[in-house]
Amino acid sequence: MVDAVDENTQIEQKKVELSELQQKRTELTSSIESQQEVVKQTGQALNSLSDNTLNQAITQSGVKTITSGEAKQLSQRERTKYNFEVVAPGSGRDSRVLVYSSSDLKKVQQEQANIRTQQQSTPEYQSAKESYDQAVLKRKQLEQQSRSTDTGIRSRSAFIKEHEQSAKTQANKIEEIRLAKEERAAFQRLSSKEKQELAQKRPDLVQKISRTVSISPELKQAAERATR
C-alpha cells in the first residue's frame, strides 16, 4: 500500500507540473505572437531605409530606361536591336521598368550594391538593424522555450498515463486479493454439507478456492464432476 500511495503522490505532482507547463505554453504562444509583430515592425523599419535604392541606382548609373508598354510600341526592327532586361516591377501589366541591355542591368545592380553599402554604414541603419536582430533573437528564444515546454508536457503526460494505468492495475490486484480472502474465509465457515452443495452449484468457485485452501479429496472430486 505504501508503494501505491507513493505512486499516487507522484501522479498528483506530475499533474500539477503539467498544468503549470500548459499555462506556460499558453503564455509563450501569446508572447511569440506579440514578438512576431515586433519582428515585422522592425523589419519594415529596416527595409524602409533601403526601399528607394533601385530608383537611386537607376538615376546614378545614368542608364536609359523604358517601360514594357513603351517597348511594345517600338517597331519589330527596333525591338530586335535590344536585349531588354527588367530592373523594376510596375504597378500595371505594361509598366515594368526595362533597361536596354544586360550590361546596363549590371551597371544598375552594381550602383544599387554601392548605395546599400553606404546606407548600411550609417548610424540610422545600424540602429534599425540592431533592433531587428534583437527582435528576431528574442523570438527564437521564445520559440526554443516553447519547444522545451512542449517536451515537458509530453513527458509528464506520458508519465501520468503510464502510472495511472499501473496504479489502476495495482488497485485491481489488491481488490482481487481482498475478495479472495473474503471468499476463503466465507468458505471455511461453511459446514461440510454446505460445502458439498456449493461444489454442485459453483464448482468453479470451489476449484478456485482449492488453489489456496486445503479441501477434502471428496469435495474436490465433487467439484470436478460438476464441471463435466
pTM beyond 0.85, yes or no: no
Q: What pLDDT is stored for residue 155 in this prediction?
A: 94
Q: Is the pLDDT of residue 91 over 80?
A: no
Q: What is the mean pLDDT of residues 97-123?
A: 92
Q: What is the pLDDT of residues 2-57, one digit of tens each?
A: 465 677 888 899 999 999 999 999 999 999 999 999 999 999 998 888 767 888 89
Is 24 part of a structural domain of the chain? yes
Q: What pLDDT is stored for residue 1 in this prediction?
A: 43
Q: What is the 3-state secondary structure of the chain? A: CHHHHHHHHHHHHHHHHHHHHHHHHHHHHHHHHHHHHHHHHHHHHHHHCCCCHHHHHHHHHCCCEEEHHHHHHCCHHHHCCCCCEEEECCCCCCCCEEECCHHHHHHHHHHHHHHHHHHHCCHHHHHHHHHHHHHHHHHHHHHHHHHHHHHHHHHHHHHHHHHHHHHHHHHHHHHHHHHHHHHHHHHHHCCHHHHHHHHHHCHHHHHHHCCCCCCCHHHHHHHHHHCC
Q: What is the mean pLDDT of residues 120-145?
A: 95
Average pLDDT across the chain, whole number: 86
Is 105 part of a structural domain of the chain? yes
Of residues 225 and 73, more confidence is placed in 73
Is 182 part of a structural domain of the chain? no
Q: Is the pLDDT of residue 223 over 90?
A: no
Structural domain range at position 105: 2-64+100-173
Q: What is the pLDDT of residues 166-220, one digit of tens each?
A: 878 877 787 777 777 877 787 777 788 887 887 788 878 777 777 767 677 776 6
Domain count within the chain: 1
